[in-house]
């Protein structure tokens, strides 16, 4: 909520949201029993986004509570701009799309991510001498395509 947005008081009241941050969520047992746990296929990144999508599809609302203070060291386990983080963000963004979009939107999104966004990012990493980052993107795409045929099971 409000990422890169100036805080002018618009976040001061509880409000419904479409996704919660995995480091700071409280979910009723009833919801977990009905929807299941976070999908383990992701390992890092996007698992809470997928879970929130599944929770919403079951008719539950997700709410933001502004009066809680949460301290979270982002990227502590992977490193801020590490190839490991780049790999999982690339693979799991594609995986999330594959699991949660349908029809034309699914294929347009996958094509955009692979042919445009990832190609641009690979080029930028190579131009700045970050070949390990570029390789991580390629590896993430490759491993997504190895997983995607298992859509029903992933």
Give the pLDDT of residue 114: 96
Is residue 28 within 8 Å of residue 15, measured between CB atoms? no
Residues 4 and 65 in one domain: yes
- 77 in a domain, yes or no? no
- 78 in a domain, yes or no? no
Domain final residue pick, 72, 101, 132: 72
Whole-structure pTM value: 0.85
Residues 62 and 5 in one domain: yes
Residues 101 and 39 in one domain: no
| Structural domain that includes position 139 | 83-153
Give the pLDDT of residue 16: 92
- 29 in a domain, yes or no? yes
Domain final residue pick, 72, 91, 126: 72
Q: Is 35 exposed, middle or buried (0-12, 13-18, 19+ CB in 10 A)?
A: middle
Residues 54 and 94 in one domain: no
Q: What is the DSSP string of 106-133?
A: HHHHHHIIIIIIHHHHHHHHHHTT-HHH
Residues 91 and 39 in one domain: no
Give the pLDDT of residue 79: 62
Q: Render pLDDT for 59-97 as a digit per residue (tens, 0 to 9).
A: 999 998 888 888 877 666 666 789 999 999 999 999 999
Q: Which residues of the chain have pLDDT under 70?
A: 74-79, 148-154
């Amino acid at each position: 909520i409000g990422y890169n947005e100036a805080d002018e008081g618009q976040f001061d009241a509880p409000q419904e949201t479409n996704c919660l941050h995995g480091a700071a969520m409280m979910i009723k047992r009833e919801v977990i029993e009905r929807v299941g746990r976070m999908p383990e296929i992701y390992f890092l990144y996007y698992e809470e986004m997928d879970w929130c999508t599944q929770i919403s599809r079951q008719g539950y609302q997700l709410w933001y509570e502004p009066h809680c203070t949460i301290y979270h060291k982002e990227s502590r386990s992977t490193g801020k701009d590490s190839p490991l983080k780049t790999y999982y963000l690339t693979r799991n963004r594609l995986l999330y799309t594959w699991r949660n979009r349908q029809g034309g939107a699914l294929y347009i999104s996958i094509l955009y991510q692979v042919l445009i966004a990832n190609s641009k990012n690979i080029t930028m990493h190579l131009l700045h001498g970050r070949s390990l980052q570029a390789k991580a993107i390629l590896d993430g795409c490759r491993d997504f395509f190895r997983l995607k045929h298992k859509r029903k099971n992933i």
